[in-house]
Amino acid sequence: MTLNLHAVLETLGFTATFLLLPPLIVGVIRKTKARFQNRIGAPVLQPYYDLLKLLSKSETISKHTSWIFRSTAAVNLSMLIILAFLAPWTSFRPFDLASDLFLVIYLLALTRFFTVLSALDAGSAFGGFGASREVTLALLVEPSVILCLASLGSVSQSSDLAFVFSFKNMELLNQPGLWFLAGCGLFLASLVELSRMPADDPTTHLELTMVHEAMILENSAANLALVEYSHFLKILILLGISSQCLLHAVPYFWHSTELIRAGASIACILLMAVSIAVIESVAVKLRWTKLPEFIAYSVAMSIFCVFIALGKNLN
Amino acid sequence: MKIERIEMSLSELHEKLPHTLGKNSENRLGLLTSIDGGQLATLLLNPKDGTAGLLVSPLENNSYRSFTPQLAQFHWFERALFDFFGIVADGHPRFKHLLLHDQYEGDFFPLRKIALPANFQNVLPRRYEFFEVKGEGVYELPVGPIHAGVIEPGHFRFSCFGETIVNLEIRLGWVHRGVEKRLTEVPWQKAHFVAEAAASDTACANAFAHAIAIESILEVKVSERAQYLRTIALEIERLAMHVIDVGGIGTDIGLLGISSAMGRLRGKALALADLISGSRFLRGFIFPGGVRPVSERKLSEIKAGVIGLRKDLAPVIQILSENQMATERMKDIGRLSRSLAQEFGMVGILARACGIEYDSRQCFEQGKFPELAPPITTELGGDILARTRVRIGEIATTLDTIEKLLDGCPHGEDKITLPASLPANATGLGIVEATRGELIHLIFTDEAGKICRYSIKDPSFENWTAISIAIRENLIADFPLCNKSMALSYSGNDL
């Protein structure tokens, strides 16, 4: 067996990208937000420094916690790394792994399940709070994510996301409308999934209003670093999937080289980070009871995707 | 301020108060306290004709029939009266400690000067019991006294049903420093340093009220220039506070652009304070007898600063008021009804936001007010939006007032020389509209002309109850915003 140097390099490049990119995305969001507020803001690389700082701190663990709290960070990180290999967050993939769309969605749900468990585990009032809110939001967003991806799968006659997002499926070439709607629907759903504005304010210090932050109040030091990093990785994956939908909507990328596509994937993710920052700068954090109205936009888009897919299949 | 002192027996007081303070009456309760523990001292204010009356009723047996069941505005005053004097209010519906916590000895009543009756039995256990809401699915959520932000300490005990708040009980007193007692111990000439430290963000208003009270005891009048400068300082303090409070609303609804812009502009307002007094928080500027000297050049710089600030504030305020999402976020949340606000004697922004037209600048003598007092800003909504709008409206009227005062400020002496000692057995009263509302300083002197009792009523003292009322049946996630919209003081309340 000959060692395929090219394949090794590709794998290394891919792994390095998804390991190193997530904090940068967050850095870009924070920097853009700071500029919107007329502030210089922390350096773009600050999230990396923060993670390193957290890793070197000593940890405080509530004595009321069980093994769930201790292992959640590791479980989540490993699941997200698996997802990074499976989910179509970039056009460039070194392995030919089949990735069923339900596997991807429910691996994501499994990370949420563990986060929620660990939030409940510490028994603090705010953990329970955050957990209950997170689950409520997840419940509302889930149909939108499933319907967007399923309608793409239905048109391409496959539930393998690797195949759907491969720029090879000719059934999907002439469906820019479907791709665009799915991309926007997934982007709006991601805002909620990732606890960004207008669902949750990631910069707030007010425990009573938090969703994601409330769940990780008990985590500290390396544990917190892993939780934060997993969350960053989740941002990369979810923004990646919606940016891939948008790229597929542009016929140019169907005919371009792999390198251009790979570059465009990264650029599109960063662009989405900037747009998140813009949204967070001009939008107000919505009242909790108004959130279903916001999620309805995403669900409506996903339902339009279903209509398009149905129309296509009926022909 | 002139104050009329009336001796009145307890039974007469019981007959009089329900009429004078009942619904639709012109009067309001200034404060209820005691001088040495042997009497009730009830301060009644008449905002309409700007007069004040002090009803002093000797106590027999260290207790009285509670006024709270008929007049809700007494409820905290009566609890504080027990904490500090050991005077028992019989029949108070929720009689428990207010500011002194579990650590204190059972019979420790710090402001009491006469001996407790021999048969005195402490009716309250030191251990504080929170009001408990029972029922399936109701849970308690303790928040504070240490919070995630850099704010003062206060404990909030929520009883929630899902995401809805059923009841909120607020426990304060964590920053009780014994200001009132300390004020009777320091020489009166230096007491203004202690008085203005009662609440640092209200330093100017506290110093102002203190100065008015002392001057009313001495029956002196300060120069016209000092009156103008004091009023300018008071309004600069209001301006800085209102600006940062509107910015705080921006933080809590997630409009960070507003909050950072307002934070910067508050710095500019504080720079005006620095120009007039040499201290960004107006410390040491106002004292009995006058103010520190201010040069004409500084005054013209302040004028330029005010004009600049008005220009800078306009676009930020416009962005906030025209943001549809922000308006929707604030509307109908934390609503306080006008009738409850009236019943509990609430003051300041939150009273004006539910349509109560009470601004002590219009009623009671304080510097150049009520002569040059701006019109009252009111809203009818009673919700967070209304409170924010009142603040925004007051920013505008305050800017106008400062300009008007700067234009009219005459030349003359900064201060007058005061007599060496205070008259004996006198009572002095100072009422100032601080940023948060009506602030009262009430001073009693003894036979030797020494201050024997110094009572401060911060506007937050009445208004803390408003949060408990306004947040009921609201979402728990809306509490921080509601709290911010009221922006009450912990240290001013705890004293």
Q: Is the pLDDT of residue A168 over 60?
A: yes
B235 shares its domain with B380? yes
B232 shares its domain with B337? yes
Interface residue of B325, B383, B476 to substitute, partner A, most A CBs within 10 Å: B325
> Which pair of tokens denotes residue B75?
């409820």
One-letter identity of residue B380 = L
B90 shares its domain with B191? no
Give a yes or no: residue B247 inside a domain: yes
Give a yes or no: residue B177 inside a domain: no
B119 shares its domain with B158? no
Q: Is A37 on the interface with B (CB under 8 A)?
A: yes
Other Cβ atoms less than 10 A from the Cβ of B472: the count is 14
Place of tokens 């300018």: B232
Under an 8 A CB cutoff, do A284 and B253 touch? Answer: yes
Give the integer Cα–Cα distance in Å for B449 and B187: 11
Structural domains counted in chain B: 3
B159 shares its domain with B200? no
User: Chain B: residue nearest A125 by CA?
Assistant: B141
Under an 8 A CB cutoff, do A39 and B475 touch? Answer: no
> Which pair of tokens denotes residue B321?
């008021």
Give the integer Cα–Cα distance in Å for B483 and B36: 35
- HSE toward the beta carbon, residue A16, CA cutoff 13 A: 6
Interface residue of B253, B327, B335, B383 to substitute, partner A, most A CBs within 10 Å: B253
Tens-digit pLDDT profile for residues B131-169: 899 999 898 888 889 887 778 999 999 999 988 999 999
Other Cβ atoms less than 10 A from the Cβ of B97: the count is 20
Give a yes or no: residue B181 inside a domain: no
Q: Is the pLDDT of residue A310 over 60?
A: yes
Full domain range(s) for residue B249? 187-459
Map out the domains of chain A as residue ranges. Answer: 5-58+66-314
Output the domain CATH number for residue B57.
3.30.460.80
B162 shares its domain with B196? no
B122 shares its domain with B145? no
Give the integer Cα–Cα distance in Å for A10 and A94: 6
Give the integer Cα–Cα distance in Å for B26 and B114: 35
Output the domain CATH number for residue B414.
1.10.645.10
Q: Which residues contact B32 (CB under 8 A, 6 or more apart)?
A: B40, B41, B42, B43, B67, B74, B77, B78, B81
B323 chain-A contacts, CB cut-off 8 A: 284
Give a yes or no: residue B63 inside a domain: yes
Give a yes or no: residue B474 inside a domain: no
A125 chain-B contacts, CB cut-off 8 A: 139, 141-142
> Could you tell me the pLDDT band of residue A96, with boundaries at 50, 70 and 90?
confident
Under an 8 A CB cutoff, do A206 and B475 touch? Answer: no
Give a yes or no: residue B293 inside a domain: yes
CA distance B163 to chain A (A): 9
Torsion of CA B434, B435, B437, B438, to 10 degrees: 0
Q: Is A125 on the interface with B (CB under 8 A)?
A: yes
Give the integer Cα–Cα distance in Å for A182 and A161: 14
Q: What is the DSSP letter of B60?
A: S
> Which pair of tokens denotes residue A236?
């990369």
What average pLDDT does the segment B435-464 reach?
93
Q: Within the 264-303 window of chain A, which residues sit less than 8 Å (CB to CB) from chain B?
A: 280-290
pLDDT score recorded for residue A3: 66
B103 shares its domain with B142? no
Q: What is the DSSP letter of B374?
A: P
Q: Is A80 on the interface with B (CB under 8 A)?
A: no
B93 shares its domain with B225? no
> Could you tell me the pLDDT band of residue B196, with boundaries at 50, 70 and 90?
very high
> Could you tell me the pLDDT band of residue B125, with boundaries at 50, 70 and 90?
confident
B123 shares its domain with B58? yes
Which pTM was predicted?
Answer: 0.90
B148 shares its domain with B249? no
Q: Is B253 on the interface with A (CB under 8 A)?
A: yes
Give a yes or no: residue B486 inside a domain: no
Give a yes or no: residue B472 inside a domain: no
Q: Is the pLDDT of residue A1 over 60?
A: no
A285 chain-B contacts, CB cut-off 8 A: 253-254, 329
B325 shares its domain with B197? yes
